[in-house]
Structure 1
Amino acid sequence: MRAETVFNVFTYGVFPAWALLVFAPRWKWTQRLVHSVLIPVMLGVAHLGLMLGLNLSNSVPEGASGASLQGAMLLFSDPWVAVLCWIHYLAFDLFAGAWIVRDARRRNIPHLAVAPCVLLTMNFGPTGLLVYLAVRFFMRRTVTLDENETAKAAAPQAHLASG
């Protein structure tokens, strides 16, 4: 199989997950597919398999590394190494997009405010996460990444309601 074919399979293969995050964030299949470990595990297995299948010492040009810009440019000059790195981006961007949707739900942030952030994360990774964090700050005045913070804030209210 050609590197371009593998690239396309993974690139278009994650689009349904992104569509579910944007258009059906509360649907049971979004929960089962996108918010489970299924997709990250599949991407991780593909990444590991490709990494083990590549003979990096033969496919990476001399001087290629992540230690310098020139070295990184050389690293990405091999199509299979570029696909390997692309799967890395796909996995972590989707992970961040799913986290954004879950975090927004925990904090009762309207999905209409979140959907553009998810699309930005799909296309520009960290920029989408940054925009979501800004939206979250302006809507909920919170800067923490502690997921238990919302549970702690809700605990006193739950106690009062049951008492």
Structure 2
Amino acid sequence: MSTLFDLSFLVTVPFWALMIFAPPWRWTRTIISSPWIVLAPLVVWVIVAVPVLGAMWSLVTAPSLDAITEAVVDPAVLTALWAQIIAWDLFLGRWIYLDSRDRDIHPLLMGPLLVGTILLSPIAFPIYLLVREFAGRSRAGSAAVAQSDPVGA
């Protein structure tokens, strides 16, 4: 089970590496544009979750802290939950990467934010939304100045 737990993250590393270390490379955008990049950790999820689907079903249909605490003692349930988290983080990181490229947010700013998404996406995501808002205002302001500049005309 430990191998599958580790594998659920390791299969995402190439995608994270592309987004963080080669953001402007045209193949990065081509690869990351596909939502299928999250398939690898989801395959791990299926392998691990199918045998414990009954236990996991009861967790999602009647969630309680006690039930979840008891269930994650099972390495298969915990590994399935981990693979699901990893897949979600990659999907979120993919959206952040694509959105930041569309908005032309500098890769040196985005690299740490994407690392933050890997580590603590509930913190990194709202930070990105603030960066996105600021970058949008900044670019709109620059465009307005460029249009009203009589010297540039």
Interval of TM-score (by shorter of Structure 1 and Structure 2): 0.7 to 0.9
Q: Which residue of 2 aligns with 1:29?
A: 27
What is the rounded CA distance, in whole Å, between the counterparts of 2:96 and 2:59 in structure 1?
A: 32
Report the AA paired with residue 135 of structure 2: M
Q: Indicate the SS of the match to 2:59.
A: coil
TM-score (norm 2): 0.76
Pick the aligned partner of 1:76 from 72, 83, 86: 72
TM-score (norm 1): 0.72
Pick the aligned partner of 2:104 from 88, 97, 108: 108
Q: Which residue of 2 aligns with 1:41?
A: 39
Query: Percent same amino acid at aligned positions?
Result: 32
Which whole-Å deviations, capped at 9, do the CAs of 1:108-133 have from their partners, x for residues lacking one? 21111211111110111221111111
User: Number of residue pairs matched?
Assistant: 135
Q: Deviation of residue 99 (structure 1)?
A: 0.9
Higher relative CO (CA 8 A, sep ≥ 6), structure 1 or 2?
A: 2
What is the rounded CA distance, in whole Å, between the counterparts of 1:141 and 1:72 in structure 2?
A: 43
Across the aligned residues of Structure 1 and Structure 2, the Cα RMSD in angstroms comes to 2.3
What is the rounded CA distance, in whole Å, between the counterparts of 2:3 and 2:118 in structure 1?
A: 20
Q: Which residue of 2 aligns with 1:95?
A: 91
Structure 2: stretches of 5+ with no match in the other structure: 139-153
Q: Would you identify which runs of 4 or more consecutive aligned residues in structure 1 move more than 4 Å?
A: none
Q: Which residue of 1 aligns with 2:135?
A: 139
Cα 1:11–1:45 change in 2 (3 A) is closer
